[in-house]
Amino acid sequence: MSNAVSYELVDNIGVISVNNPPVNALAQVVREGILNAVTAAQDDDCEAIVLRCEGRTFIAGADITKFGKPPMEPGLPLVLGAIENSSKPVIAAIHGTALGGGFEVSLACHYRCAIASAKVGLPEVKLGLLPGAGGTQRVPRIAGVKAALDMITSGNPIAAAKAHDMGLVDMIIEGEDLQAGAIEYAKSLVASGAPLKRIRDITIDPATVEAGYFDAARKKLARRARGQIAQDKIVSCIEAAVNLPMDKGLERERELFLELVTSPESAAMRHIFFAERQAAKIKGLSKDTPVRAINKVAIIGGGTMGGGIAMCFANVDIPVLMLEINDEALQRGMDIIRKNYNITVQKGKLDANKMQDRIDLITGTTDYADLGEVDLVIEAVFENLELKKEIFAKLDAVCKPGAILASNTSYQDIDAIAEATSRPQDVLGMHFFSPANVMKLLEVVRGEKTADDVLATSMKIGKKIGKVCALSRVCYGFIGNRMLGGYGREAQMLLMDGCTPVQVDSVLEGFGMAMGPLAMGDLAGLDVGYKARQARTDLPDDPKLYRMGTLLVEMGRHGQKTGSGFYKYDPDTRKRMSDPEVEAMIKEEAAKIGVEQRDISSDEILERCFYPLINEAARILEEGIAQRPSDIDVVYVYGYAFPAAKGGPMHYADHVGLKNIYDKICEFRDRYGEQYWKPAPLLKRLAEEGKTFAQWGAEQG
Ligand code: T1G
């Protein structure tokens, strides 16, 4: 037996234990070990076999690091065949998260038991894949076609109790001693002469599936696929489970799995999987850096952002004190929170009692003196540097030593804010994205003097509240917003050159962005960008620059909040509609400033929107604002809805080729001017050296 898999006889039960830290992934040694143990157990005295795992979790899937590499024997189907065809009952004993190939291993077992805190799931779709070891054939046989489709196309894990209700788990083991409970369960199955329950023997009656069900499912999934291709193939697999015998269904699943595993979409989504975990690591900080305890949090400002941030902490049972300038503002803040929770309850994603528990964790105050005992303060007031410095000076006076003082600013100078206190080492940026209780990204902004344990604590608490964290140094707009400047600018320049808002946005949405730049402007409020530009002194004096954005604001068209911006919005449904009045205005304004309009290709629209963003990212890397190119991919996928199936802007740039991008930027520079199109030195160098951002990132170590 290898170290990764051990076998022992406990009374009359054979116990196979997998031990392959950190998550018992199905590496070659694990597959081989399980196969050998199951084979050996056929001939020894055991009457049943329990398959369990050491460490924090049951098998959490195939070894993702091995995808795209030559396959090694034994393959997983062979291992599952041995389990399923065992002459003695095999029982999977699940704790932690049985995911992907791990859950498929348990589905090949004759019975599954789990402790109450366990979860099971098939998250392959989040890697641009599908369950390739029988999951698409076995789950519908047990849980039904609809439940299988939901489970596999969402990829979300299911709690043990719900899995039990769905028939996916046969027994919930009380208490924490899973091994003992599983052995007792195995003994009871032997004693009752329980059959070798093989899921493959279940057939699905095609008559139970209404006509057109799968086509309707395909259409629905296609609407939110955003460049992902796995969902459609998952539907085909489940359709095969209904219409084909098991082995034919498994063949079909394997075929489609192999198509996906070699696809650029899956490669991009696997890149994001590892980039997300890499982003949590701060270069130069050992993983043993001490962290401070965060048991109570305060939020300054109960507006949209403050309310959303408060919910993030209450959702993980951390009490929150929300401070506002007066009782009216406080009540408004609490009402926003209750409204948001009600929406979640109405969607069936939270039960009303749990909602009340969370709301009860959020209390209000108008007095800074009440903040003496909190461990972390997050300031979320409107963007005014002097006001923020004033607030931090007050916090410095009332907060206990060791309290972390964070600002949710989107672009202000964290060092200037820190200097307003006597403890700059305890100050940093924690930049949430709107809506803060929904968006997964948290930009952690490291000030010049921010202490290592403050950084480590912020990354850890960020993960605890369900955020994906990425580290940024201080600059105007940090990583995400700084890169967005050129993207938004060019979207408006393209209007002057001949595009309509619909044309620009539909190209970006066709690429996979959740929302095009102009519609995004309408959502965020055109007046926000307008005010930010008014405050800037470094913008070129060019009548073409942000011309439409400025005129629309001055006409009172601030976007969705005023019912119109680049588009007009249905007052009831908020549905976006193109506005002929705006399209006419664009033509007039272009004529006024002597711009000859022309037909513009979709490629040019994509290039003029993304290449400034990629170019600015190269500067951000050169300046050390971001630690590594893959962090930037994480920022854009989790903060700006850049399609995961494209892997983020840096992965996408490497896919397009940095030489192509550099050459195009030079072409645009010659056509539109260096004030907008100045190639970043790093991009130029990598283009000339024929390198990628990924290679550069690896060289930086
Ligand atoms: N393969 C390889 N490495 C993995 C891994 C995996 N499946 N899962 C995690 N890791 C590494 C991860 O990179 C990190 O490494 C460390 O383990 C801890 O992970 C045939 C085709 C299990 C819920 O998609 O969702 O099976 O950064 O930081 O927050 O049909 O990891 O420390 O060097 O995430 O406690 C399907 C993926 C695979 C599950 C634990 N399975 N993993 O979360 O720890 S496809 C998945 C997770 C498949 C079959 C198909 C999470 C977790 P490092 P972590 P965590």
Tokens 């009871």 -> residue: 188
Nearest atom in ligand 1 to 61's CA: 26
**Residues ≥6 apart with Cβ < 8 Å to 17:** 5, 6, 7, 8, 52, 53, 54
Which of 23, 158, 234, 277, when mutated, tests ligand 1's pocket best, judged by the most ligand atoms within 8 Å of its CB? Answer: 23
Mean per-residue pLDDT, 90-104 = 98
Q: Judging by beta carbons within 10 Å of its beta carbon (0-12, 13-18, 19+), is residue 279 exposed, middle or buried?
A: buried
Q: Is the CB of 127 under 6 A from ligand 1?
A: yes
> Residue 51: what residue type?
L
Give residue 574's pLDDT.
87
**Residues 552-602: pLDDT tens digits?**
999 999 999 999 999 999 998 889 999 999 999 999 999 999 999 999 999
Mean per-residue pLDDT, 223-236 = 93
Q: Is the CB of 275 under 6 A from ligand 1?
A: no
Q: How far apart are CA 124 and CA 147, in angstroms?
A: 16
**Residues 660-699: pLDDT tens digits?**
999 999 999 999 999 999 999 999 999 999 999 999 999 9
Q: Is the CB of 464 under 6 A from ligand 1?
A: no
- Residue closest via CA to ligand 1's atom 55 equals 23
CA of 426 to the centre of ligand 1 (A): 33
- Residue closest via CA to ligand 1's atom 9 equals 23
Report whether pLDDT(114) > 90. yes
Taking residue 577's Cβ as centre, other Cβ atoms within 10 Å add up to 11
Mean pLDDT of the chain: 96
> Residue 183: what residue type?
I
- Residue closest via CA to ligand 1's atom 37 equals 60
Tokens 């996408």 -> residue: 652
Give residue 517's pLDDT.
97
Q: Are 128 and 160 in contact (CB under 8 A)?
A: no
Q: Is the CB of 101 under 6 A from ligand 1?
A: yes
Q: Is the CB of 128 under 6 A from ligand 1?
A: no
Q: Are 160 and 94 in contact (CB under 8 A)?
A: yes
Mean per-residue pLDDT, 324-331 = 96
Nearest atom in ligand 1 to 261's CA: 21
**Residues 341-394: pLDDT tens digits?**
999 999 888 999 999 999 999 999 999 999 999 999 999 999 999 999 999 999
Structure tokens belonging to residue 598: 């022309």
Q: How far apart are CA 425 and CA 292, in angstroms?
A: 13
DSSP H helices, 577-628, are 580-592, 602-622
**Residues 414-455: pLDDT tens digits?**
999 999 999 999 999 999 998 999 999 999 999 999 999 999
Confidence of residue 2 (pLDDT cuts 50, 70, 90): low
CA of 90 to the centre of ligand 1 (A): 25
Nearest atom in ligand 1 to 76's CA: 20
**List 32, 104, 276, 616, catalytic entry:** 104
**Residues 459-513: pLDDT tens digits?**
999 999 999 999 999 999 999 999 999 999 999 999 999 999 999 999 999 999 9
Give 36-41's long-range contacts (Cβ < 8 A, gap of 24+): 36/1, 36/5, 37/1, 37/5, 37/7, 38/79, 38/82, 38/83, 38/86, 38/90, 39/82, 40/7, 41/7, 41/14, 41/16, 41/86, 41/88
**List 84, 124, 276, 616, catalytic entry:** 124
Nearest atom in ligand 1 to 126's CA: 24
Q: Is the CB of 55 under 6 A from ligand 1?
A: no
Q: Are 434 and 304 in contact (CB under 8 A)?
A: yes
> Residue 697: what residue type?
G
**Residues ≥6 apart with Cβ < 8 Å to 392:** 379, 405, 407, 417, 418, 420, 421, 427
Q: Give the whole-number percent of the chain exceeding pLDDT 70.
A: 100
Give residue 535's pLDDT.
84
Report whether pLDDT(17) > 60. yes
Report whether pLDDT(1) > 70. no
**Residues 233-243: pLDDT tens digits?**
999 999 999 99
CA-derived radius of gyration, the chain: 28
Q: Shortest CA distance to 500 belongs to which of 567, 441, 444, 547?
A: 567
CA of 277 to the centre of ligand 1 (A): 10
- Residue closest via CA to ligand 1's atom 54 equals 277
Q: Please confirm, yes or no, whether 699 is among the known catalytic residues.
A: no
Give 355-358's long-range contacts (Cβ < 8 A, gap of 24+): 358/311, 358/314, 358/315
Q: Please confirm, yes or no, whether 124 is among the known catalytic residues.
A: yes
Q: Are 442 and 467 in contact (CB under 8 A)?
A: yes
Taking residue 581's Cβ as centre, other Cβ atoms within 10 Å add up to 12
Give residue 532's pLDDT.
85
Nearest atom in ligand 1 to 463's CA: 29
pTM score, two decimals? 0.96
